[in-house]
Structure 1
Amino acid sequence: MSDAPNNNDRLQPSWAAHELFALGLTLLLALWIMVKYGGDTAPADHRDPRSADRSAKRAEMDADDEKVMGSYALLKSVQDGERKTHFFRVPIANAMNDASEKYQAGAEGFRNDLVSRAFKAAGIKEGTSTEELELIAKGKVLYQTKICFTCHQVDPAVPAPAGLALKAPKFMGAFWGEDREVVLDADPSTPTYEPGGQTVTVKMDEAYFLESIENPYAKVVKGAIPGMAALPTTPEERKALLAYVRSLSK
């Protein structure tokens, strides 16, 4: 066998040359894609006219908010008998300075003033104890979890769908301690309500409220359609619900 080199082997390109060629072709292809489609990969905020409109609207709203925070205005007037109270908006800087001056003049008085305003804003009687506030908070949660809100409306802006159909009493305005007409169950021995009983006047108080939770058919508000079942609750839960509902009376 001859040891002479094969000329055909010298004419074939090496694997390194193939790899370099493939790499160069890949780079050219990537460059072409970037040039042709680079504009389409830009963030949508720079291309979508709606995004630009939203950004402009947001900037306008921020400017309005900043203007409001630095201006005076009459917000509302509340008539309470012969007394009329006006509520004004003042620039935030003025409000902060005023608060600082009041605090320096008397920290205790400033604190009491804030507490008084907080009670009034929450619609809770001033001087309510911490224990009572905790009960009210717990009762409010129970009022939602026990789905009481579906029948008994507590907010004029939020209707109670089932309550509209059943003509259920609402817990709004001044109702605690007030008289109401109820119809007694004609046959308390049965688990269902038997109409035709006597109509009596009762007071919306603790005893009546607790009885209505445990035995809602015993006394049904006149004109309402009986549809409430006995609410499964513990004594502690009933006490919390009582505190919350009582706090709603204005």
Structure 2
Amino acid sequence: MARDCFCGCGAQIPFGRRAAANAIGRQITADLIALREASDGTLPATVDRTDLERLCYEGDAVLPRVRARTHGEIDRDEIDRDTTQAFMSAARRMRAAITRPAALKSNAPAPAPPELIRATGEVVEIRETGMTINDDPRVRLRLRVFPPSGEPFEVERKLLVSRLSIPRRGDRVEVEYDRNAPDRFTFELTAPTPGLADELTRLTRLHQDGTLTEAEFQRAKAAVLGGEPGPGAIS
């Protein structure tokens, strides 16, 4: 029985050795998402943030080989099994260390349920973090939110966005946030920029085939995204 490829490419992975790589890739992806979500918040005293960030980088290094094996591009012997298993074991321990304090506080009063509010918003700034999961970039996004009542306010967080619909400065969005913790928000583009993904794909191909230098590529990408090139800026 075939299953969807963990990387989201839409391929069906048949039962067999590639299916094992697919399962490993799905677990590593889940680990990376959980670890990066944890890194955005307050960590227990027993967890070192530097160790957590280093572990995320190690996972980023392992995942492309697992994806290549899942796609049948490399043989299973070309995957460093020791490194892959070491990351998965370390990720399991790290996730346990992060969640253990919460389990110890299970007798404490339950927190108030989130009070979700829908509002319109505008992208004020978006910056690259240099991290990706399955080629989707993890960015630092700052929004100006216009609540149904009260004054506008700004929120910011790091999150994963689709490489096919990267927001840019000035885009209008629909926002849903917790009244008691506004920085815990989700958003949807209300009017994605037409052709943006296609143009970014075209520029990437020109860069990869050597037509554009790195500097030319960065300038062109910044122009498409509506901002001046700068350190990490996508705005």
For Structure 1 versus Structure 2, the TM-score category normalised by the shorter chain is under 0.3
Look at both structures and tell me which one has the larger radius of gyration over its CA atoms. Answer: 1
More strand by share: 2
- Relative to the length of structure 2, the TM-score reads 0.24
